[in-house]
A and B are shown apart, each in its own frame.
Chain A
Amino acid sequence: MAVWIIEENCTGCGLCAKACPYGAMVIEDKLARVTDRCTECGACLAACKFEALASDIEQEPIPDLSGYKGVWVFAETQEGKLLPVSRELMGEGGRLAAELGQDLCAVLVGSGLEPLADELASLGAKKVFLADDPRLAAYATLAFTRVLADMIQAHAPAVLLMGATPLGRDLAPRLSRRLDLGLTADCTQLGIDKETGNLLQTRPAFGGNVMATIYTPRVRPQMATVRPGVMAPPQARAGAQAEVIKQEVKLLDSDLLLKLMSFTPLASQGVDISQAKTIVAGGRGCRSREGFGLLAELAQEMGAELAGTRVAVEEGWIGVERQIGQTGVTVRPELYIACGISGAIQHRAGILGSRFIVAINRDANAPVFSVADYAIVGDVFKVVPAMLAALKEAR
């Protein structure tokens, strides 16, 4: 065992057990004990305040990373326009860059995208790195990987952020492995460690039941993909200018092997509530199929998807493809409105990734309120019609 306890110093305070990401440290009879789950990560060593832990883990020295500067945002586009997540990343990237005292830079890869440089400048970019080539008009994993790898090696940024879109989740891991960089997926919160300047990357794990903060101590740039819709876009400042730096595009034939044959837009009848931005959901408190009719009206008014609990599905008020929770779908909408749902743990687990949760329930002690951002103690059959009226008024 590479970590051991110096028993005369140990107070059994439990700080090490709390710090252990693997549940390998236990407190027994007021003493810490290392179990065989230990992976020798050393997290406990830093946590102990009583010099009660010792180890023979060799910590490799951190290399000098001061040459890496700048927060880069990969500005993903579609049909020549910035995706909303690109704007959101500019907002978050700007905040991080200010904290680091470094420049926010945007990266454009595609064909004919130079006109977007002004918009990126208005969103805070000091520099725009541009790779413009007709062969980059459509996304191709290997071509984009090569171009970005060349840019990173030429300019050595400290941070690279991408949207956790299908494209970002295809490209970022490929690129991170090519350059041997650390990558954290689907972050919902970013920050800077004041002491080290490390990017603190927080993301949900285990289906949203656990949050983990991750950092990349030894390599730069620190790469992260960020969930769309989580960060706030910045206020655009018209007239701001950015330096545009053009990257020579060097591709191999083998970078363009994949051939796109066709694209079929999805027919709307296929329901996938896991992708919904707004969800109106009902439970036992909606009492009947007619009660769900009221929710359907609210969902339509809000452009939301309708969903339900296991009880609602078993009662036949709503289809099983719209069931949320442990035996149903886990959802991560921007807005989740729980109507007449008590909120058993199985249901709560399925909605914890939601950005905002509204709960409407007659029982003020309903567990659903423990995860709600907005709580309304009241009768669904009174509150929902009043919401419909207020929404129509606000329109």
Chain B
Amino acid sequence: MNIAVLVKQVPDTNEIKLDPKTGTLIREGVESIMNPDDRLGLETALMLKDAHGAKVTVISMGPPQAIDVITEAMAMGADGGVLLSDRNFAGADTWATSYTLGKALEKLLAETRLDLVIAGRQAIDGDTAQIGPQVAEHLGWPQVTYVSELKLEDGSLRAWRKLPGGVEEVVCPLPAVVTVLDAPQDPRWAMVDRLLWACGPKSPIRVWDAADIEAPAKSTGLRGSLTQVMQTFSPKSERKTDWIEGTAEEQARHLVNALSQRNLI
């Protein structure tokens, strides 16, 4: 059993702000973390490893410092890691990102069998939830999204999908791509001895650039992106505040009227 887990290093979004003067993102001093859904995806893979024995390889695309999420994943129990890092990968939208990840998975598939790819449902910096399905399409594999629990059966997987209205149980043949938004247990802690191994001279982490995965510049990064960012702005400027005056009774009545006119109550 071979499992690839896609992880992303993200800024802790609660701290992200726009510079009020320039309108650009302030990234200084913002901590980088492993995307929470990806951490749950890794835990799901490691639970399968505990139950069935599996080789778990984590893959991340990002700048050189994104290697930190790979070493962390390996300290938690992953067996190998690949960092996809190249100047040409910067500024990618989800099309270009899924293409790059897809090319890396093709290279892994040329080396070894892969039964399952697990990704987090979405990343907290973009919240798009597009990478999992797009990577599945790149590979031509079926996809199971919004998964909270995963079991392996003979040649297939059984997954529980956590949807707003309830839980759907599905069976899907392998190989497949699964996106995860929860796991039956909290993600495990990193082990210090494993961390030393992952950071040390015998670390099996590999770094691949565009040439390694045969990804042409026109299909990666900003150049390969089909969508472009036109502008970014701070969201709160949109609200025009309606100050409701009067006694408490008058204020309450005015508010209830205004809300019901907007069909909010």
Q: Which A residues are within 8 Å of any B CB, using their own CB?
A: 14, 17-23, 39-41, 43, 141-142, 145, 166, 169-170, 172-174, 176-178, 180-186, 200-201, 204-219, 257-266, 275, 278, 302, 326, 334-335, 346, 348-349, 352-353, 356-358, 369-379, 382-383, 385-387, 389-391, 394
In the complex, the answer to whether B138 meets A391 with C-beta atoms within 8 Å is no
- Are B95 and A177 interface neighbours, CB within 8 A? yes
Residue of B nearest to A145 (CB): B137
CA distance A178 to B102 in the complex (A): 13
Given known contacts A18-B23, A39-B221, A387-B256, is B229 in contact with A213 (CB within 8 Å)?
yes
Q: Which residues of A contact B232 (CB under 8 A)?
A: 21, 205, 210-213
B residues near A177, Cβ cutoff 8 Å: 95, 98, 133-134, 137-138
Cα–Cα, bound, A206→B124 (Å): 6
Do A261 and B170 touch (CB < 8 A)?
yes
Can you spell out 28 A-B residue pairs with CB atoms less than 8 angstroms apart? A21-B24, A22-B25, A166-B146, A169-B129, A174-B143, A183-B95, A209-B14, A210-B234, A212-B229, A257-B142, A258-B172, A259-B170, A260-B169, A261-B170, A262-B168, A263-B166, A265-B165, A266-B164, A278-B265, A352-B235, A353-B235, A370-B236, A374-B255, A376-B251, A383-B248, A385-B248, A387-B252, A390-B253
Contact A182–B146 (Cβ < 8 Å): no
Q: Is the interface of B mostly helix, strand, loop or mixed?
A: mixed
Q: Does B158 contact A (CB under 8 A)?
A: yes
Residues of A within 8 A of B26 (CB): 23
Tell me if B70 is interfacial: C-beta within 8 Å of chain A: no
Contact yes or no, B230 A39, CB < 8 A: no
> Chain B residues near A40 (CB, 8 Å)?
222-223
How far apart are B80's CB and chain A's nearest CB, in angstroms?
A: 26
The answer to whether A264 touches B167 (Cβ under 8 A) is yes
- Give B221-264 interface residues, CB cut-off 8 Å to A: 221-223, 225-236, 239-244, 248-249, 251-253, 255-260, 262, 264
- Are B146 and A261 in contact (CB-based, < 8 A)? no
- Rounded to whole angstroms, the CA-CA distance of A365 and B140 in the bound complex is 57
Q: Please tell me which one of the listed residues A207, A377, A383 contacts residue B13 in the complex, with CB atoms under 8 A apart.
A: A207
Alpha-carbon separation in the docked complex, A23 to B166 (Å): 42
Q: CB-nearest residue of chain B relative to A372?
A: B241
Nearest CB in chain B to that of A259: its residue: B171
Residues in A with CB closer than 8 Å to B235 are 204, 208-211, 352-353
Q: Which residues in B have their C-beta under 8 angstroms from that of A378?
A: 248, 251
- Tell me whether A39 and B222 are in contact (CB under 8 A): yes
- Partner among B136, B226, B260 whose Cβ is within 8 Å of the Cβ of A174: B136
CB-CB under 8 A from A174, the residues of chain B are 133-134, 136-137, 143
Do B164 and A182 have beta carbons less than 8 Å apart? no
Nearest Cβ in chain A — how far from B166, in angstroms?
Answer: 4
> Contact between A218 and B226 (Cβ–Cβ < 8 Å)?
yes
CB neighbours of B17 from chain A (8 A): 209
Q: Quick one: closest B residue to A364, CB to CB?
A: B243
Number of interface residues of B (CB under 8 A): 84
| Inter-chain contact A141/B229, CB cutoff 8 Å | no
B residues neighboring A (CB under 8 Å): 11, 13-14, 16-18, 22-27, 90-91, 93-95, 98, 124-134, 136-138, 142-146, 158, 163-173, 221-223, 225-236, 239-244, 248-249, 251-253, 255-260, 262, 264-265
Closest to A260 in B: B170
Question: A265: which of B130, B138, B166, B227 is its contact (CB, 8 Å)?
Answer: B166
Q: Which residues on the A side are within 8 Å of B14 (C-beta)?
A: 207, 209, 326, 346, 349
Given known contacts A182-B93, A389-B252, A212 and B231 CB-to-CB distance under 8 angstroms: yes
Q: In the complex, which residue of chain A has the Cβ closest to the Cβ of B240?
A: A373
Q: Tell me the minimal C-beta distance from B8 to chain A in angstroms.
A: 14
Do A334 and B264 form a contact, CB below 8 Å, given A169-B145, A212-B232, A213-B229?
yes
Distance in Å from the Cβ of A376 to the closest Cβ of chain B? Answer: 5
| Given A178-B137, A207-B14, A258-B142, 4 more pairs with CB closer than 8 A | A174-B143, A182-B93, A264-B167, A373-B241
Cα A210 to Cα B165 with chains together (Å): 29
Q: Are A142 and B142 in contact (CB under 8 A)?
A: yes
Chain A residue nearest in CB terms to B179: A170
Q: Which residue of B lies closest to A349 (CB)?
A: B14
Name the one of B13, B166, B168, B227 contacting A183, with C-beta atoms under 8 angstroms: B227
Shortest distance between the CB of B209 and any CB in chain A (Å): 16
Q: Are A214 and B169 in contact (CB under 8 A)?
A: no
Instruction: Indicate if the CB atoms of A375 and B242 lie closer than 8 Å.
Output: yes
When C-beta atoms are compared, the residue in chain A nearest to B21 turns out to be A14
Query: Which B residues touch A348, using CB under 8 A?
Result: 236
What are the residues of chain B within 8 A of A216 when measuring CB–CB?
226-228
With a cutoff of 8 Å between Cβ atoms, the chain A residues found around residue B166 in the complex are 263-266
Cβ of A387: which chain B residues have Cβ within 8 Å of it? 252, 255-256
- Contact A394–B260 (Cβ < 8 Å): yes
Q: Within the assembled complex, what's the spacing in Å between the Cα atoms of A213 and B232?
A: 6
- Given known pairs A184-B227, A263-B168, A378-B248, the reply for A210 and B242 (CB within 8 Å) is no
A22 nearest in chain B by CB position:
B91
Nearest chain A residue, comparing its CB with the CB of B132: A173
* Complex Cα spacing A22 to B26, Å: 10
In whole angstroms, what is the CA distance A378 to B253 when docked?
A: 14
CA of A264 to CA of B162, assembled, Å: 10
